[in-house]
Structure formats: structure tokens, C-alpha cells
Amino acid sequence: MTREKRGRHLACVPAAAAGDEDDVVTEVIAQPLDRIPREHGASVGNAAGARPHSATVPAILFGAKPMCGKYILAQAAKAERAMGIRRGRWEYPLSYRVLPTEQVPVAVAESGEREAAMMRWGLIPYWAYGVPLKASTINATVERIASAPSYKDPWHRGQRCMLVMGGFYEPHVNADGTRDPFFVQLADREVFGVAGLWDRSRRQDGSYVFSCTLITVPANRLLAEVHNGKQRMPAILAESDHEAWLSGALQDAKATLKSYPEELMVAWKVSRRVNSPRLPNDASLIEPL
């Protein structure tokens, strides 16, 4: 089904309902990248000539409840072109249900060039000795990136990245308190980048884990109707803002963090099957109901 046809399936959603607390999924520590920077906050790439690390995606416990925090990946070659990657390559399986704690493709700036890397989704601060925090760190609100203990150091050190997506899911709270997932994508781009922060943390055994979080901003009108519990949305970056976000001065990077125009987005209701890791991870998950 084409994007144009899917866009017609955007359902009329009722007024906002109260309560949309994200459920917590048991944390799984991912493996570090191939090359370890000499100093904290240095390169996250790989040794010269080596391909980017593509770790096996860690399993999420089958008993996990539905949660707000899922998206889909774009085909790797398309993602590299869209993100302007000049160093390294991404190698990952296509996924229609990316979940927290999995290794995800991110773009970073390295020596003036955009580099492909894989990181754990769910930031582990450098001071946590590689141990995931009890609180969820998959999202960082734009209002607190400069002050929250988990995010203020990566923010002030300029450890910015872009998480690469083909679309994402958000929960809509119904009048009876139940939640239905909606799939959201851009009308003008097949692949897009979401602003994120990254960090590296040293485990007790001396190995490192590289991890990231995606930044959220207040929802535009479309996403406020869909994600009516929290009325937030990912900080989707305009293509013209990629360079400022990855390599610009702090104030220029902060200026890119804004709500994406609602007229350039489409959304439709999908099956609750997307919430179950037991079920097939394929294109049927984004088919409109």
C-alpha cells in the first residue's frame, strides 16, 4: 500500500484521555562498539578499514507489556544515503518493531564527517559502570536535556546523534482507558533522523557499552490527538538541520529541536500485535485497520 493511500486511513480520534504511563521493559546490556575511544566523549567509530559493529539484537522478555517506545527501521542503504553517511556502513536486519535495549543505527559526527554507528537504545550514563538505570532512559525531554543527571553531561559535551527511522508508533488512550497503537510516518520523506544524545559507560570488567536516547518535544496538533496521554513526539530533524544538530554550536543545535509540521505527517491505527514480541516482525504490523 502506498504512503498516499495509507494517509487516507487517518482515523478521527477523540479528545485526550488522562493517564499514559510508559511500562518498563527489563533491561538488557548490549555489546560495545569495535573501537573504544581513548578519552570519554571521543570517536564512536571503528578501526580503520573495519565495518561498523552490528551486534545481535538482544531479546526482550516475552512477558513485556505494550509500551510507548517502538519504531521501524529503513533499509540500510537508503538510510545511509538519507543521513549522508561518509564513514562506515550499517548492517542490520530490517525491523518493523524496534524495541528499547536493542542495538539501533545512529549517525554521529566524526572529524567533520557523518559516521554510521550502532548503539544500545536506552542511555546508560558514563557514571553508571555499564549498568542500566532503573528509570527508563529511552526518551529525553527537550526541557531537561541540559539539567537531568543522565543527559546533562552528554548534552554539554556535544555528544549528539541522529536515530534513523522509517516511522514510529504512538499509543492512543481510548475513553475506556484501553490503548490502541498508531503508526506515524512522514509524508515528504521515507527515511528521517530523530535528534538524540549518546554516552559510553565502562563496565566493571573494563569493557564499554555505547548507548543513546532520543529527544522528545511537545506534540504538534496531529500527534497531540494521537498520543493524547502525554502529547509528546520525537524531535524529528529537518534535513537542513542535520549539520547544525550534529556539529553546530550548542545554541544552534538547541534551535533545531522543535515540533515537526503536522501537514508533513500521516498517521493511522494499527493492530495491537505490534505490542507482542512473540508475533512476527514484518510489514503487516504497519497495515492500517
Point out the least confidently predicted range of 11-15, 48-52, 72-76, 161-165. 48-52
Judged by average pLDDT, the poorest of 19-33, 77-91, 193-207, 224-238 is: 19-33
| Higher pLDDT pick, 214 / 13 | 214
Do the Cβ atoms of 264 and 187 come closer than 8 Å?
A: yes
Is the per-residue pLDDT at 233 higher than 50?
yes
pLDDT of residue 29: 28
Domain spans of the chain, in order of start? 30-56+66-286
pLDDT value at position 268? 98
> What number is the average pLDDT over the span 244-258?
98
Domain 30-56+66-286 CATH assignment equals 3.90.1680.10:
yes
For residues 60-97, one letter each, b for 16 or more C-beta atoms within 10 angstroms of the residue's C-beta and e for the rest, the string is: beeebebbbbbbbbbebeebbebbebebbebebeebbb
Lowest-confidence region among 1-5, 180-184, 229-233, 238-242: 1-5
Comparing 228 with 44, which gets the higher pLDDT?
A: 228
When the pLDDT of each residue in the chain is averaged and rounded to a whole number, the result is 82
What confidence tier does 136 reach under pLDDT thresholds 50, 70, 90?
Answer: very high
Cα dihedral 91→116→72→162 (10° resolution): 170
What is the pLDDT confidence band of residue 115, given thresholds at 50, 70 and 90? very high
Q: Which pLDDT value is given to residue 54?
A: 30
* Mean pLDDT in residue range 125-141: 96
What is the pLDDT at residue 112?
Answer: 86
CA 259 from centre of chain: 15
> Are the beta carbons of 116 and 80 closer than 8 angstroms?
yes
What lies within 8 Å, CB to CB, of 87 at 6+ separation is 45, 110, 113, 114, 115, 116
User: What pLDDT shows up at residue 44?
Assistant: 53
